[in-house]
Amino acid sequence: MSGKRVVITGVPGVGKTTVIDASMKRLAEEKIPYKAVNFGSCMFDTAKAEGFVEDRDQMRTLDKDIQKKLQKLAAQRIGAMEGNIIVDTHASVKTPAGYLPGLPEWVLTELHPDTIVLVETDEDQILLRRIGDESRKRDAEGSRSIVEHQQMNRAFAAAYAMMTGCTVQIVRNENFLLDHAIDAMVTVLR
């Protein structure tokens, strides 16, 4: 297996995909090839084909054993990919049954991450971004519960580092400071 594997996480609405896309553009200019894979899209391909859901935002309400099965299949597909890979995913997913680990042991052993990045910002900014995003069915959540989710994600990331020896980096994606987030992300990916 070759290449660098960077797992990028963050609560819904923090702007992971935006930061990833802009960072990939910078890296392409530097001739550093990366492939970005969206873990949720990989799961959704199967979930939709099996008729479990019609929309990607319905997956987190599925029975947790089904979510885990979809998760394992996605991890196997992504784990088999070659080269430098960015995985756009979640340290934990908020489900009706509680926080579901995004990278349990059977996912980590497929992915072998070198680094886990936590994209974070202030809860009030996340709340407003979710309200403004009409393309997605984001959970209506108060700022306290966003704080809790970001705290839990740090705890999950520390556990993943313990299991794999991967490094953990926090990248802030604050309003009007996307360039700072991109600089920090590109430094991790380079």
Q: Interface residues with Mg ion (CB under 5 A)? A: 17
Q: Are 100 and 65 in contact (CB under 8 A)?
A: no
For ligand AMP, which residue has the nearest CB? 40
Would you say 15 or 102 has its CB closer to ligand AMP?
Answer: 102
Minimum CB separation from Mg ion for residue 16, in Å? 5
Residues that bind ligand AMP (CB under 6 A): 12, 39-40, 43, 56, 59-60, 67, 71, 88-90, 93, 100, 102
* Among ligand AMP, Mg ion, none, partner that 12 touches (CB below 5 to 8 angstroms by kind): ligand AMP
Would you say 34 or 160 has its CB closer to ligand AMP?
Answer: 160
Q: CA–CA separation, 112 vs 151, rounded Å?
A: 23
Q: CA–CA separation, 164 vs 79, rounded Å?
A: 15
Distance of CA 55 to the CA centre of its chain: 18
Minimum CB separation from ligand AMP for residue 123, in Å? 17
Would you say 25 or 137 has its CB closer to ligand AMP?
Answer: 137
Name the residue among 103, 98, 188 with its Cα closest to residue 148.
98
Would you say 60 or 130 has its CB closer to ligand AMP?
Answer: 60
Minimum CB separation from ligand AMP for residue 124, in Å? 20
Distance of CA 6 to the CA centre of its chain: 10
Concatenate the DSSP letters of all residues of 103-157 into one string.
S-HHHHHHH--SEEEEEE--HHHHHHHHHH-TTS------HHHHHHHHHHHHHHH
